[in-house]
Amino acid sequence: MENILKLAAQKADSAEVVVMRDKETPVFFERGEINKISKKDTTGVALRLIKDGRLGFATSTTLDDSRLVERALATAQFGERIEIDFPNREISEVESYDAYLASLTEEELIDDAHSIMDRMAAFDPSILVDLYINQTEKEIEIGNSSGFRGKYNKTNLGIMLSTRSAQGFREVGSGYSSSRYFTFPEMWLAQLAERHHQAQKRQSVPTKKMPVIFSPGTFGTLVTRLLAGIDGTNLNAGTSPLEGKIGKKLFDDKLSILEDPHRTWGIFSCPFDDEGVPTNPKEIIKDGVLQSYLYDLKSAREAGCESTGNGFKRGFWSSGAGDKPTPTPTNIVIPGGAVPLADMIGKLDEGILIEGVMGAHTGNINAGEFSLNINPGFYIKDGKISGRATDAMASGNIYETLTNIEAMSSEQGLLAMFGPIGYGPYVLLPEVSVTGKGQ
Amino acid sequence: MERTLGKSLGQKGYQDIRWEDLIQTSINFRGKELDSVASTRERGGLARVLSRGGWGTFAFSDPDNSTQAVNKALLAAEAIPGETKLAETPVVREKIAAKPEKDPREISLEEKKELVEHYNQLVLSHKGIQSTDARYYEIIRDKNFFSNEGSEIFQEQILTGIVIRIIARRDDVIQRTAIALGGSPHYNYLQGKEEEIEKKVKETLDLLDAEPVKAGSYDVILDPECTGVFIHEAFGHLSESDNLTNNPTLRQVMVMGREFGPSFLNVLDDPTIPNVPGYFIYDDEGVPGRKTHLIKDGKLNGRLHSRETAGKLGEETTGNCRATNFSFAPIVRMTTTFIDNGPHNFAEMLSSIEDGLYLKGAAGGQTSGDYFTFGTQIGYRIKNGKIGSMVRDATLSGNLFTTLENIEMVGNDLDLSRAGGCGKGGQILLDVGHGAPHVKIRDMAIGGR
């Protein structure tokens, strides 16, 4: 790294090197049997440099790439005009590396998976699950010509399991992910078995507005629409509906959203972002009122403010050294309420519990639109789950739908949009447009 | 150096190693500003071993680690009990060069920048356009494949294109569409596209006045782009045989000859069609790609295989085992999947609909196997056989078995898309092609307010 920085400093005005090393051991099981282990140990190197006010960018998979500086300089000739200063600020410690988790061998991961499947069999031996367990270890190192040198390590354990329908398609699923080693909770296995049984009855649903409970895993899809609105790049381009809305009440009082990069063992916890800017926790929504936007160095400069420490090389579709940093949240945290999920379901005459969605990435996301295939979801009638809702969609616009939140659950789970994005409760929305094929 | 990688392979079970050198160039405008110019290079490999019941694989980026990678893949493979036999494939020693009509590598970065800037300005010159996201991309892949059966394959692949996202705004109404150009090795396919872009700009501006679609069931006409995504999601993924190998009940459903749709429905997957993103000669386990007729005259006729799935099901290989890049083990994927021309035409479709929708432009889709969903960019009401006012935010979903049965007409104007990215098993944005003629489908569920 020092060599690249030195060479870049001779030929450019300022420079930054990011090195990301990824180790991964995912093990796949189908219907209770192991069928694949796909390990990984790769390195990504990214160089940004500024010459004559223009940015150059090049990447490699090794620090020994002799032409890295040259290629970055070539792009700088035509590069974007930019006026950012690479930072050199104090950073704090954040807990995100679990040495025990990092030490686990693939045999131990396989043993863990078998133990989960054995415990699942205790609930119902006839259910054969598909299971995925993945241990990852990342090392992120950043150096720049302002003198900043930073490095942190991060572990993660991800476990996902799902069951199959009588026809052989995915029925219901469950999963968790953490920086620290965990034992898959008994309660979630019990719930997975229960949902699997409830799903055996298919239930068509009517087309009308009705109460809908979004699970944490599916509420993340709605939150993602809001996050597009507070993205500094979208704000600068005038493509966010939230321009000038700081301090305005946008949502129901019950909704508060934090962005917390320092959460202990959080999935995205880290001391600094991928541009070396220290991270810090902030409120995004407090009691329904918009509090802050997210910026990286570039969008902050354009907006005339400071980076919020949210410049990460991580998007919907790819992440790694080769990506350029964009305003990206770390751990999204939505505090829950006081109502247990069972009580939420119990008091509904009619409604749907959505446990999974398809189409989270489609439609006019920036404008807050969503139109989701419910998969899987459960039809609720007279306070009870009456079967798996099939051929059903839930649609709306978050800037209307989230102005009215009936309740938040006391249970917390992982908020997700394809992968996890943070932590939150089940959310009961009293009036959501549902399209179905039933009467 | 790459040529010596084959020496890292051992003799236990089946072993192969892929090494890829990937150079990507991108030029990105956002609004009137040049947002980024980047030249990225990634090199790396993946070792695979099948010694017992399943694959052990190891991805690495340091070429000096290739022998260690093979050993680690072997160790992982040994932990998987059972016995899996791969389908046979010929041993191949071949070197394949890309043959661009106009080679993007011979065009200066400045000229590429000027082209995308020109299109970007064309879009921005229209009143009501709030912003753009216009991106030139170029991917040069040098792929090397070695197996311990003796195959040595060197393939060069070039993909170049321009994608322009167009964002229109009036007060609080923000609408967006996208247009894709190129998606082939030929730089000249990107030039002279002003008319196509102007048309899309106009449609985007018109969307500002469109009403959100109302929830319900509609008879729809889908344009080739929408239909392409529909058939990719609704049937293509189900054709991937890794769904079947450990799935006795689904095998009962996917019996050859089973009727899936009307007699004029033909669905194919074909990596040999040049100039679209799903094109290649050999897949990522060295099997030659070939055309597979998935649905023939309405009946199930074929499916997509890796050597593993073909071996397990006792069928022939099709060359559909692909990886997004070196860091992933290849799995069964589509190439260019399309509905072939049928006996109907657009005018017939239109006049057959009293009250329905005409939907254009794809905006992403997804499937769970039996259910699928996909978004569209632009919609028009159809009243009494005539195209009427514009609607927006139409997302379709349905059960694939009933929806295929509900296909009432297949047009004769097959068109293949110029961009396609598919995600499966954590491997996202694999280049695929898709396409179709216009089709008419009865009674499709559309989400709305």
- A180 lies in the same domain as A304: no
A37:B57 CB<8 A: yes
Contact (CB, 8 A) for B159 and B274:
no
- What proportion of chain B, given as a percentage, has pLDDT over 90? 86
Residue A337 and residue B204: Cα distance in Å, rounded?
42
User: Which of A55, A24, A49 is CA-nearest to residue A39?
Assistant: A24
- A103 lies in the same domain as A232: no
Residues of chain A in contact with residue B43, where contact means CB-CB under 8 angstroms, are 60-62
Per residue of chain A (439 residues), give pLDDT as tens: 999 999 999 999 999 999 999 999 999 999 999 999 999 999 999 999 999 999 999 999 888 888 899 999 998 988 888 888 999 999 999 999 999 999 999 999 999 999 999 999 999 999 999 999 999 999 999 999 999 999 999 999 999 999 999 989 999 999 999 999 999 999 999 999 999 999 999 999 999 999 999 999 999 999 999 999 999 999 999 999 999 999 999 999 999 999 999 999 999 999 999 999 999 999 999 999 999 999 999 999 999 999 999 999 987 667 788 888 999 999 999 999 999 999 999 999 999 999 999 999 888 899 999 999 999 999 999 999 999 999 999 999 999 999 999 999 999 999 999 899 999 999 999 999 999 988 6
Strands B355-367 and A208-214: unpaired
Instruction: Report chain A's mean pLDDT, rounded to a whole number.
Output: 95
**Residue B234 predicted with pLDDT over 90:** no
- A259 lies in the same domain as A220: yes
Q: How many CB atoms lie within 10 A of CB A160?
A: 15
Contact (CB, 8 A) for B395 and A363:
yes
Residue B165 and residue B180: Cα distance in Å, rounded?
9
Helix axes A186-199, A106-123, angle to 10 degrees: 50
Contact (CB, 8 A) for A293 and A232:
yes
Q: Position of tokens 């549902």? A: A434
- A190 lies in the same domain as A284: no
CA distance B192 to chain A (A): 23
- A244 lies in the same domain as A117: no
Counting Cβ atoms within 10 Å, is residue B326 exposed (0-12), middle (13-18) or buried (19+)? Answer: buried
B131:A37 CB<8 A: no
Secondary structure tally for chain A: helices H, strands E? 10, 22
By C-alpha distance, the chain A residue nearest B430 is: A317
pTM (2 decimals)? 0.93
Q: Of the candidates A61, A107, A237, which has its C-beta nearest B42's C-beta?
A: A61
Helix axes B194-207, B109-124, angle to 10 degrees: 40
Residues of chain B in contact with residue A311, where contact means CB-CB under 8 angstroms, are none
- A310 lies in the same domain as A351: yes
Which of B67, B373, B428, B446 best tests the A interface by mutation, with the highest count of A CBs <10 A?
Answer: B373
Query: pLDDT, tens digit, for every residue of A217-262?
Result: 999 999 999 999 999 999 999 999 999 999 999 999 999 999 999 9
Q: Of the candidates B53, B251, B393, which has its C-beta nearest A369's C-beta?
A: B393
**H helix runs in B221-342, sequence order:** 224-231, 248-253, 307-313
Query: pLDDT, tens digit, for every residue of A94-129?
Result: 999 999 999 999 999 999 999 999 999 999 999 999
By C-alpha distance, the chain A residue nearest B171 is: A241
How many structural domains is chain A composed of? 2
Last residue of a domain, one of A132, A165, A195: A195
Residues of chain A in contact with residue B81, where contact means CB-CB under 8 angstroms, are 34
Q: Give the residue numbers spanning the domain of A73.
A: 2-195
User: Which of A335, A333, A353, A336 is CA-nearest to residue A344?
Assistant: A353
- A137 lies in the same domain as A116: yes
CA distance A338 to chain B (A): 30
The SS3 of residue B296 is: strand
- A159 lies in the same domain as A296: no
Q: Which two tokens stand for residue A217?
A: 């895993």
Residues of chain A in contact with residue B76, where contact means CB-CB under 8 angstroms, are 37, 39, 106
> Which residues make Cβ contacts (< 8 Å) with residue A165, sequence separation at least 6?
A171, A199, B370
Q: Which two tokens stand for residue B82?
A: 């059972």
Contact (CB, 8 A) for B377 and B307:
no
- Domains of chain B (ranges; CATH) run 2-209 (3.30.2290.10), 212-447 (no CATH)
Backbone angles phi, psi at B176, to 5 degrees: -140, 150
Residues of chain A in contact with residue B59, where contact means CB-CB under 8 angstroms, are 38-42
Contact (CB, 8 A) for B30 and A302:
no
Question: What's the pLDDT score for residue B426?
Answer: 67
Query: pLDDT, tens digit, for every residue of B256-298?
Result: 999 999 999 999 999 999 988 899 999 999 999 999 999 999 9
CA distance B138 to chain A (A): 14
B445:A71 CB<8 A: no
- A161 lies in the same domain as A207: no
CA distance A375 to chain B (A): 8
- A29 lies in the same domain as A97: yes
Q: What is the mean pLDDT of residues B97-113?
A: 95
What amino acid is encoded at B231 in this protein? I
Query: pLDDT, tens digit, for every residue of A291-308?
Result: 999 999 999 999 999 999
A42:B61 CB<8 A: yes
- A83 lies in the same domain as A221: no
Contact (CB, 8 A) for B271 and B414:
no
Residue A353 and residue A344: Cα distance in Å, rounded?
10
By C-alpha distance, the chain B residue nearest A130 is: B246
- Range A67-106 burial, b when 16+ CB lie within 10 A, else e: ebbebbbbbbebbbebebebbeeebeebebbbeebbebeb
Residue A394 and residue A408: Cα distance in Å, rounded?
19
Q: Position of tokens 């002799």? A: A66
B215:A390 CB<8 A: no
B327:A364 CB<8 A: no
**Residue B239 predicted with pLDDT over 80:** yes
A394:B447 CB<8 A: yes
Residue B154 and residue B89: Cα distance in Å, rounded?
17
Which of A54, A132, A395 best tests the B interface by mutation, with the highest count of B CBs <10 A?
Answer: A395
What CATH number did the domain enclosing A159 receive? 3.30.2290.10
- Range B93-107 burial, b when 16+ CB lie within 10 A, else e: eeeeebebeeebeeb
Q: Which two tokens stand for residue B231?
A: 């058939």
- A247 lies in the same domain as A147: no
Q: What is the mean pLDDT of residues B64-76?
A: 95
Last residue of a domain, one of A160, A195, A230: A195
* ipTM, interface predicted TM-score of the complex: 0.90
By C-alpha distance, the chain B residue nearest A315 is: B428
Residue A93 and residue A152: Cα distance in Å, rounded?
9
Residue B205 and residue B168: Cα distance in Å, rounded?
6
User: Which of A39, A23, A155 is CA-nearest to residue A106?
Assistant: A39
B366:A38 CB<8 A: no
Last residue of a domain, one of A167, A195, A223: A195
pLDDT band at B425 (very low <50, low <70, confident <90, very high): low
